[in-house]
Structure 1
């Protein structure tokens, strides 16, 4: 069974899920969503919850969710991005100036009842984006925990402590 905890997230869980029949995948995905919703309620979050990178990819790759990358265009260009979903910047430029049109841009790309998984560098901006989306009436806004690159390690580098790329999930670089 696919475990939603970050400690158990791995490429192996993605591979194991891909080998299951459709009904088995649906049940595991529903279980991950339910656990995320329960954690969100317990933590008092205003959005639907947080998902591991592997659980988010399983949802996206099976067509159950839309991925929205909220990083800047520069981050996507120079660090890489997931070859699925949409780009709606939460903030722009090197100063990360908040995008005042975020919700309007999101509304132009995604339906309010769609299951959305938000991705940023470490999971912090995407949590803010999920919160803003929920406040705007998006009913299934989830944050991808760990983000694309994960947290900064003891050497002030990203990529070694979790994140989308760390878990070997699909990504490309321009």
Structure 2
């Protein structure tokens, strides 16, 4: 498997994460920090795929230039049965199942499940964005005060 990694054309930081992921048997390509994700998106080396619901994007905010493929939909967060097909269609112009995709959710947990499902469906370079868009819940029961995309001061917009 290590020889296969050497032939993959991905940025070095992702190659390192992929090697760690294989060793740890994560079931997806690995994880990147929010800053690494933004840098890769800006350089055109990866697509940022927001897997949150449409409601979350509208009311909480989103990263400019993202691709939206919800892992779950509605306020009940019902699993999207078309997730893999929609992901492949949205990434078709970027290499389809070979595209480098960085999955972002609220806290970095849903995106792990989505990355595992995409990998099981044959996607080869799907990475999780650690901390998510809003981050973990802090001691006061709120998000966005300790980590996450917005906390890190990275670009985002809101309707």
Q: 1:161 aligns to what?
A: 146
Unaligned runs of 5+ in 2: 1-9
Q: What SS is found at the alignment partner of 1:149?
A: coil
Specify the alignment match of 2:119 in structure 1. 134
Shift of 1:46: 1.0
**Inter-partner Cα distance in structure 2 for 1:33 and 1:162:** 21
* Residue 136 of structure 2, aligned match among 151, 162, 174: 151
> How many residues are matched?
146
Q: TM-score scaled to structure 2, two decimals?
A: 0.88
Distance in 2, matches of 1:38 and 1:104, equals: 27
Aligned to 2:22: 41
CA offsets per residue over residues 119-154 of structure 1, 9 Å max, x none? 000000111111111111111000000000100000
Is residue 99 of structure 1 aligned with residue 80 of structure 2? yes
Q: 3-state SS of the aligned residue for 1:170?
A: coil
C-alpha distance in 1 between matches for 2:21 and 2:137: 24
Q: Could you tell me how far apart the structure 1 residues matched to 2:118 and 2:34 are?
A: 19
Q: CA RMSD in A?
A: 1.2
> Structure 1 CA distance, aligned partners of 2:66 and 2:57?
13
2:35 aligned with 1:50: no
- Determine whether 1:88 maps to 2:88: no
Looking at structure 2, the residues matched to 149 and 42 of structure 1 have their Cα atoms a distance apart, in angstroms, of 29
Distance across 2 between alignment mates of 1:49 and 1:165: 21
Q: CA deviation at 1:38?
A: 2.9
